[in-house]
């Protein structure tokens, strides 16, 4: 994955966390907390992303390529992502408890963005390995950032670092700490 692909993945991670942050439970109401919503939403997005990537890979393996390949691959990947997201939302258990209308819309935005930005750029020799790594990275980093954000709320952080700057630095530190896996699985650094 190039740095641009990683930045798109980081953008979706931050988007997932920020949207769930806006739905903090009120005192006395029996609603899921922010971390639970982030974990559920990241799991749904991760599964939809993985299934979209596998289906796109199947389409490419069957040589169902038409027209201008550069454009049609992107359109095909986006359409597959939208259809997979819709089907997954129909069959996911617990969606009425964890998902609101805003979170459902985020799924229909996040999955096509991630799919178009990353899946169409993976090399075909180790495509499924790259896809599994990107999915795992998205889900793990979403869960971890949610936990970090709950701890940051109670910490004394300088005003200039609060919010987005600290989240971006945290995500890059997560990425650097797990970057050794690139050397293990893909034989290159970063």
Using one digit for the tens of pLDDT, what is the confidence trace for 50-89?
Answer: 999 999 988 888 887 777 777 888 888 899 999 999 999 9
Q: Is 95 helix (H, G, I), strand (E, B) or coil?
A: helix
**What is the structure's pLDDT at 70?**
78
pLDDT in tens, 83-136: 999 999 999 888 788 888 888 888 999 999 998 888 878 777 778 888 888 888
State the chain's mean pLDDT as an integer: 83
Residue 32: Cβ within 10 Å count: 17
User: How is the chain split into domains, by residue range?
Assistant: 3-185
User: In this prediction, what percent of the chain has a pLDDT beyond 70?
Assistant: 91
**How many Å apart are CA 120 and CA 127, to the nearest integer?**
10
pLDDT category at 18 given cuts 50, 70, 90 is: confident
Per DSSP, 31 falls in state -
Most confident of 12-26, 100-114, 143-157, 169-183: 100-114
End-to-end Cα distance, the chain:
9
**How many Å apart are CA 167 and CA 69, to the nearest integer?**
36
**How many Å apart are CA 75 and CA 96, to the nearest integer?**
30
pTM given for the model: 0.85
């Amino acid at each position: 994955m190039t740095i641009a692909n990683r930045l798109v993945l980081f953008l979706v991670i931050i988007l997932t966390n920020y949207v769930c942050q806006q739905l903090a439970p009120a005192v006395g109401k029996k609603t899921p907390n922010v971390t639970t919503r982030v974990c559920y939403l990241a799991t749904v997005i991760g599964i939809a992303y993985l299934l979209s990537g596998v289906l796109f890979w199947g389409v490419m393996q069957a040589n169902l390529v038409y027209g201008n390949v550069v454009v049609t691959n992107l359109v095909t990947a986006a359409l597959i992502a939208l259809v997979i997201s819709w089907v997954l939302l129909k069959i996911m258990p617990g969606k009425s408890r964890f998902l609101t209308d805003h979170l459902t819309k985020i799924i229909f935005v996040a999955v096509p963005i991630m799919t178009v930005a990353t899946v169409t750029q993976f090399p075909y020799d180790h495509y499924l390995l790259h896809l599994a790594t990107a999915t795992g990275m998205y889900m793990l980093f979403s869960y971890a950032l949610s936990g970090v954000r709950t701890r940051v709320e109670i910490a004394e952080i300088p005003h200039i670092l609060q919010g987005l700057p600290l989240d971006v630095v945290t995500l890059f530190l997560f990425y650097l700490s797990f970057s050794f896996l690139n050397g293990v699985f893909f034989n290159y650094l970063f």
